[in-house]
C-alpha cells in the first residue's frame, strides 16, 4: 500500500449527503488520466453532524486532501467554516470548491462560472443581446445563476418564484437589476427576453404544468435548464418545439469542475465531447 503522505499523490474529494449519484469522480478521474497525474478524487459521504469535524481534518492536513468539492447540503456551511472565502462565495453565502493554500482553507463558488462557460461553449453568441433575462426559481441553485447573469452584464433579471418572498430576498441580495415576481407574471415578463433559465424541478412530474409561450421571447433568445436529469427537460422540449434555441444543463456540471481541478492538481482541464459522452453514457445507465 502506498502512503499518500510519502508520495506525490494529490488527493481531492467531493462531499455531500447523499453522495452516491455524484458524477464528479468520473469527471475528475477522466482528467487525471488524460494528464497522467498521480492523483485521487473520491466521493465522501459526510452527514450534516459530521461536517464540522470533516472540515477541521481538512484544515489540519490530517485528512491528506489538497481540497475538494462540496455539494448539497453542505455548501452554506462550507462557506461559513472556510478561513478565506472569495467575493463570489461571500455574496452567495455558499461555497462549492475548497482548497488549501498558504496554510489557509480558501473557498470559492464555481457554479456561476460553470453556467456561463456551458452557454459560451454550446450556444455561441447567446449573450450578444444582454437586455433581459427570466430566471425561474429562487432556491439554492438559482443564486449562482442570478449572480452570473448579472455579472455578464444583463440589464434586467426577473426572478420568478412560486413563493415570491424568496425571489424578493434574492432581488435584495443581488441588487437593483434583479426584480422579483410571482410565477403568474411569467406570460407578461417573458415577452422579448433574451434568456430564460429554469432552476426548479417544476414540470418534472407533470409537464402540463408548464404552460409557457417561449416564442414570445426575442427571436434570438436562448432557453436553458440547469436540471440535466433528464438531459432534455420538459422546458427544453417545449422550447425546442416552439422553435427556440436551447442549451441543456449538463455542461454546467462539467465546466464548474474546471477551476477546482486546476487548483488541486495544477493543470487546467478542457471540457471535451469525449468527456460529455462519458457522462451522458453514465446518466443513461441509471
**Residues designated catalytic:** 75
Cβ proximity to ligand ATR, 108 vs 199, nearer residue: 199
In the range 132-191, which residues lie near ligand ATR by CB under 6 A?
A: 137-142, 161-163, 166
Q: Is the peptide bond before 230 cis (omega within 30 degrees of 0)?
A: yes
Count the site residues for ligand ATR by CB under 6 A.
Answer: 14
Among 189, 92, 78, smallest CA distance to 131 is for 189
In the complex, least distance from residue 119 CB atom to ligand ATR, rounded to whole angstroms? 19
Cβ proximity to ligand ATR, 111 vs 127, nearer residue: 111
DSSP codes of every residue in the chain? ---GGGSS-EEEEEEESS-TT--HHHHHHHHHHHHT--EEEEEEE--GGGHHHHHHHHHHSTT--SEEEE-TT-HHHHHHH-SEE-HHHHHHT--SEEEEETTEEEEE--HHHHHHHHHHHHSTTTTS--SEEEEE--SHHHHHHHHHHHHTT-SEEEEEESSHHHHHHHHHHH-TTEEEEEGGGHHHHTTT-SEEEE-S-TTSS-GGG----GGGS-TT-EEEES--SSSS-HHHHHHHHTT-EEE-SHHHHHHHHHHHHHHHHSS-----HHHHHHHHHHHHH-
In the complex, least distance from residue 82 CB atom to ligand ATR, rounded to whole angstroms? 20
**Residue from 134, 157, 202, 239 binding ligand ATR (CB under 6 A):** 202
Q: Is the peptide bond before 253 cis (omega within 30 degrees of 0)?
A: no
Cβ proximity to ligand ATR, 97 vs 199, nearer residue: 199
Q: Build a one-symbol-per-residue string for 266-285: x at contacts with ligand ATR by CB under 6 A, - elsewhere.
A: --------------------
230 lies in the binding site for ligand ATR (CB under 6 A): no
18 lies in the binding site for ligand ATR (CB under 6 A): no
In the complex, least distance from residue 203 CB atom to ligand ATR, rounded to whole angstroms? 8
Q: Build a one-symbol-per-residue string for 32-71: x at contacts with ligand ATR by CB under 6 A, - elsewhere.
A: ----------------------------------------
Cβ proximity to ligand ATR, 149 vs 202, nearer residue: 202
In the complex, least distance from residue 23 CB atom to ligand ATR, rounded to whole angstroms? 16
Distance CA 147, CA 143 (A): 6
Cβ proximity to ligand ATR, 44 vs 204, nearer residue: 204
199 lies in the binding site for ligand ATR (CB under 6 A): yes
200 lies in the binding site for ligand ATR (CB under 6 A): yes
Cβ proximity to ligand ATR, 100 vs 233, nearer residue: 233
Name the site residues for ligand ATR (rule: CB under 6 A): 137-142, 161-163, 166, 199-202
Amino acid at each position: 500500500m502506498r502512503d499518500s503522505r510519502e508520495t506525490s499523490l494529490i488527493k481531492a474529494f467531493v462531499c455531500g449527503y447523499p453522495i452516491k449519484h455524484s458524477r464528479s469522480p468520473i469527471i475528475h478521474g477522466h482528467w487525471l488520466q488524460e494528464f497522467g497525474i498521480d492523483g485521487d478524487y473520491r466521493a465522501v459521504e459526510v452527514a450534516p453532524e459530521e461536517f464540522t469535524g470533516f472540515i477541521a481534518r481538512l484544515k489540519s492536513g490530517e485528512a491528506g486532501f489538497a481540497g475538494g468539492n462540496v455539494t448539497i447540503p453542505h455548501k452554506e456551511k462550507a462557506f461559513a467554516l472556510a478561513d478565506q472565502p472569495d467575493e463570489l462565495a461571500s455574496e452567495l453565502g455558499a461555497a462549492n470548491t475548497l482548497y488549501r493554500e498558504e496554510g489557509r482553507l480558501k473557498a470559492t463558488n464555481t457554479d456561476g462560472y460553470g453556467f456561463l462557460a456551458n452557454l459560451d461553449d454550446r450556444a455561441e453568441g447567446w449573450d450578444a443581446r444582454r437586455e433581459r433575462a427570466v430566471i425561474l426559481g429562487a432556491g439554492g441553485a438559482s443564486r449562482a445563476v442570478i449572480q452570473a447573469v448579472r455579472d455578464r452584464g444583463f440589464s434586467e433579471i426577473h426572478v420568478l418564484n412560486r413563493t415570491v418572498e424568496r425571489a424578493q430576498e434574492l432581488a435584495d441580495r443581488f441588487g437593483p437589476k434583479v426584480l422579483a415576481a410571482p410565477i403568474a407574471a411569467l406570460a407578461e415578463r417573458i415577452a422579448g427576453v433574451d434568456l430564460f433559465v429554469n432552476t426548479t424541478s417544476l414540470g418534472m412530474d407533470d409537464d402540463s404544468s408548464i404552460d409557457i409561450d417561449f416564442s414570445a421571447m426575442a427571436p434570438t433568445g436562448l432557453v436553458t435548464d440547469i436540471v440535466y436529469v433528464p438531459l432534455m427537460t420538459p422546458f427544453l422540449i417545449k422550447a425546442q418545439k416552439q422553435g427556440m434555441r436551447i442549451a441543456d444543463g449538463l455542461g454546467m456540471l462539467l465546466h464548474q469542475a474546471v477551476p477546482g481541478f486546476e487548483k488541486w492538481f495544477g493543470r487546467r482541464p478542457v471540457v471535451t465531447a469525449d468527456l460529455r459522452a462519458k457522462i451522458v453514457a453514465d446518466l443513461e445507465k441509471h
